[in-house]
Structure 1
């Protein structure tokens, strides 16, 4: 319930500042997550990036202002952060299928409502989850910085161009990971394609052009995922955010989380892997 209240307070704040400056620090304070982590979890939960959600809400509010007030198009454009009437008109028409002037004159427009997180009755979804403390370990791989979750197959291809799977599995116990870690003052995150690496193989990993990441000891919710990638990963995160966190009183700890891959056909309905989400009690 605390997570739901924090989410809705954060959305209320964003709604109150659509015609002003949305403060990333205030989002972090209200949500109790860093700005980068809230943005990422928001995207997982809603299917929209936070920036896209804010953009659509501004365009929806702008249409209502044009229809219901005497404000000029240029004033509405500036109010919602557009530097010129032309850039505003282009974005407005793409979303509403009508120009600002046409909407002002009475043409219909799109309405994009504010989001609210609420408890719903769902149909018996279950996943295998265990709480487990993992000792500190080290991985070696390559990463890329992004502002929102996305698919990263190209990054894995780049990793395998440095060394084939057969070489990478020899660096440690053979476990491969997709890792999300906050960077850049908690405003973005890094996704790293990596393999476990033992102490005696660190120098070899560096010679392959790989970066080392020291993962501290942490407690995780370990979720067993079944089905093809990336669908099973998306389903796992939805379960964590919508069911596991609210029901058991946990929240994301803010440390790295892991997609833990297994050998086999990743696109098969019978594929099985794990998701490790670092947790703390609310």
Structure 2
């Protein structure tokens, strides 16, 4: 229940500071969690990022104020955090579908975006298969890139998918898979938690380094842009992502926060999480999702 309560505290904090200069980083500090974990948890629990929530609430309130008061559009723009009437007009029109100047016309339709309330609902008749695995220290050879935290769970962003496509097109995956024997060429999508003071996270595409991996020249691989990714020993909860595309990964993350954490006595751990794309997969399984957790 801690995540549910923390996210509700976050919403309350945002509502109390809507007219101040705040973003998801400020909210994360208020609920005493990392920016990365807060952004991810909030977006998967609510279906919207914290920054988008703040923006939508401001624009909703601004629309109401335009209709109900005689305040100038410039003053309203400044009140809700916009530096110029022009930037406010663009944001307002995207959200409401009309310009602020038309909002005062009779019968103008505006969008209402009410405060969120997070509640835990219990539904019967559904199963969520998982297993808990204790892992030893692991190493991977991977092609790694940094991405902004804001892209997590952003349906309009395809940067990570484009990274996979780029690695395929440039044959950057082949040299890594070639280090593994047939039948053990599983690919890993590695995701690191953000570091203190950073607004990015690292995502890597790689293969496991173990006794089955062929010898290779690390210096030459590093020259080609690859790097070694270390993962500490830990406890992981493992889920099958059932589906035909990456949407099932998003759905599994959502279930992790909404169903698994509130019920199972675990909390998320800020270590590497990863997807495994098996060379010889099982029918209907897109990948396995491994999420680091720890007992409360």
What TM-score comes out, normalization by structure 1 length? 0.88
Q: Would the aligned equivalents of 1:250 and 1:279 in 2 still touch at CA under 8 Å?
A: yes
Who is 1:187 aligned against?
Answer: 199
Who is 1:248 aligned against?
Answer: 264
Who is 2:117 aligned against?
Answer: 116
- 1:274 aligned onto 2:288: yes
Q: Would the aligned equivalents of 1:259 and 1:276 in 2 still touch at CA under 8 Å?
A: yes
Who is 1:99 aligned against?
Answer: 99
Single out whichever of 32-41 and 233-242 deviates more from structure 2. Answer: 32-41
Who is 1:127 aligned against?
Answer: 128
- 1:154 aligned onto 2:150: no
Quote the Cα distance in structure 1 between the aligned partners of 2:162 and 2:235: 30
Q: Which has the higher helix share?
A: 1
Q: Secondary structure of 2:216's partner?
A: helix
Q: Would the aligned equivalents of 1:264 and 1:271 in 2 still touch at CA under 8 Å?
A: no
Q: Would the aligned equivalents of 2:187 and 2:279 in 1 still touch at CA under 8 Å?
A: no
Quote the Cα distance in structure 1 between the aligned partners of 2:271 and 2:217: 22
Single out whichever of 155-164 and 45-54 deviates more from structure 2. Answer: 155-164
Who is 2:42 aligned against?
Answer: 42
Who is 1:4 aligned against?
Answer: 4
Who is 2:216 aligned against?
Answer: 201
Quote the Cα distance in structure 2 between the aligned partners of 1:175 and 1:134: 17
Runs of 4+ in 1 over 6 A off after TM superposition: none
Shift of 1:211: 2.0
Q: Secondary structure of 2:190's partner?
A: strand
Map 1:13-24 to 2 at 5 A: 13-22=13-22
Shift of 1:244: 0.2
Q: Secondary structure of 2:193's partner?
A: strand
- 1:224 aligned onto 2:240: yes
Q: Would the aligned equivalents of 2:245 and 2:286 in 1 still touch at CA under 8 Å?
A: no
Who is 1:71 aligned against?
Answer: 71
Quote the Cα distance in structure 1 between the aligned partners of 2:217 and 2:264: 38
Q: Deviations over 1:19-40 (max 9, x none)?
A: 1022655422343421122112
Alpha-carbon RMSD across the aligned residues, in angstroms, is 2.5
Quote the Cα distance in structure 2 between the aligned partners of 1:56 and 1:259: 32
Quote the Cα distance in structure 1 between the aligned partners of 2:174 and 2:224: 13
Single out whichever of 36-45 and 71-80 deviates more from structure 2. Answer: 36-45
Change (3 A) 1:105 1:161: closer
Change (3 A) 1:169 1:17: same
Quote the Cα distance in structure 2 between the aligned partners of 1:220 and 1:240: 12
Q: Structure 1 stretches of 5 or more lacking a match? A: none
